[in-house]
Amino acid sequence: QHPDRTVVVYANTSAAVKARADWVVTSSIALDVAEHLAEQDKKIIWAPDRHLGNYVRNQTGADILMWDGACIVHEEFKARGIADLKRVYPDAAVLVHPESPTAVLELADRVGSTTQIIRAATEMDNPRFIVATDQGIFYKLQQQAPDKEFIIAPTAGDGATCRSCANCPWMAMNDLETLAQVFSRSDNEVYVDPAIGERAMLPLRRMLDFAREIHVPVKGNA
């Protein structure tokens, strides 16, 4: 339907989706890629996260047609709940992942990927932080900034389904026990069709090459 558009997909997509894409992005490099394409007057199809796509469009002015998808963790954060918590902790900075709704992003003191959120917590002078992303990040935050307090952003407010459910059930399935089983069992191997894998590597390599060119660290870019 839109053969003139460049297809940009998030790293958390299947190999089959990547095989149909022109670019793969992570949260760390999404803005840079969109700016790069916008400078070439290229129109974009963005998938799958509409909140990340909206953030990128608002920041870069790129012409983006978005897929209607969202992260079940970040979509649950509510601006009203975060504003209420900010009144309780007025000295706290708000750190938000860009997969969150626009109303939540507007309350942020810093928006960024997981790595960028951790860096912000170490660089900013605030004694405490309200963090709107999966709570799995808190272990690393406390390691990197042990003298600071980190508060899970609530999901309270209109339309909320829980008070604070910043926890991805799928990522939570990964623990040391299941990781150890990977080395002792052979029944969980993932097979990718070679033709799909070969096509999927093209947009992934394009991202990694671009990241090296502009000196942006992304996972897989040594």
> Are residue 93 and residue 115 in the same domain, yes or no?
yes
**Residue 180 belongs to a domain:** no
CATH at 118: 3.40.50.10800
Identify the pLDDT of residue 163.
Answer: 46
Give the integer Cα–Cα distance in Å for 131 and 205.
32
70 and 39 Cβ atoms separated by less than 8 Å: no
Identify the pLDDT of residue 157.
Answer: 54
Give the integer Cα–Cα distance in Å for 34 and 26.
12
> Are residue 153 and residue 88 in the same domain, yes or no?
yes
Identify the pLDDT of residue 164.
Answer: 47
Task: Name, in order, each residue with C-beta under 8 angstroms of 142's C-beta and a sequence gap of 6 or more.
Answer: 150
List the domain range (segments joined by +) for residue 45.
6-70+191-214
Mean pLDDT by 10 residues, the chain (222 residues): 96 96 96 97 97 97 96 91 94 97 97 96 98 94 97 71 69 87 84 97 98 82 44
> Are residue 105 and residue 55 in the same domain, yes or no?
no
> Are residue 83 and residue 146 in the same domain, yes or no?
yes
**Residue 184 belongs to a domain:** no
Q: How far apart are the first and last CA of the chain?
A: 37
> Is the bond preceding residue 48 a cis peptide, omega within 30 degrees?
yes
Identify the pLDDT of residue 207.
Answer: 97
> Are residue 89 and residue 48 in the same domain, yes or no?
no
**Residue 22 belongs to a domain:** yes
> Are residue 61 and residue 79 in the same domain, yes or no?
no
> Are residue 86 and residue 142 in the same domain, yes or no?
yes
Token pair for residue 103? 């109303």
> Are residue 40 and residue 103 in the same domain, yes or no?
no
> Are residue 90 and residue 163 in the same domain, yes or no?
yes
